[in-house]
Amino acid sequence: GIRKGPHIVLWTLIFCPLSFLSSIAVCFYVGTMCWYNIYLYLSEERSIWHRMFLCPLLILFYPLLLISTLLPLALFAACKQVSWNLLSWLTEIRDYDKGFYGWLCNRLGLPECAPYEVVIIDDSNVLSDNMT
């Protein structure tokens, strides 16, 4: 069919370099936001010892920490988007960092440092609007 087949695989292989570069750009931005949120947490909400010892180390190792996650994530995103099915390719091509930085913040025990916006849907407003 038009949405499945070897022509989709060829299309996704052609998009690998673009997917790699796009993923690098997005992961750089999101990774920097994650690093900055962790830095703010350590410098503002933790003790003076964290400010004196961990914050300078975090600043010094920023390029190494970012590049060590950036390149593998971009390579993974470029390989993962190769698909036989157009709909699964569209899903994968839109997810550049695969949620890695949210996972990392949760793993570090700092979920508030995740660089993603969280939307909480509350149905209390819907119920009150229907009652009136």
Q: Which among 36, 26, 28, 25 has a CA at the least distance from the CA of 110?
A: 36
pLDDT digits (tens, 9 = 90+) for 58-116: 889 999 988 898 899 889 888 888 888 888 888 888 877 778 888 888 888 888 888 77
- Secondary structure in 3-state letters for 46-58: CCHHHHHHHHHHH
pLDDT digits (tens, 9 = 90+) for 6-55: 888 888 888 889 889 988 998 898 889 889 988 888 888 888 888 888 88
Dist CA 91 CA 83 (whole Å): 10
Q: Where do the structural domains in the chain lie, given as residue ranges?
A: 6-131
**pTM for the full model?**
0.76
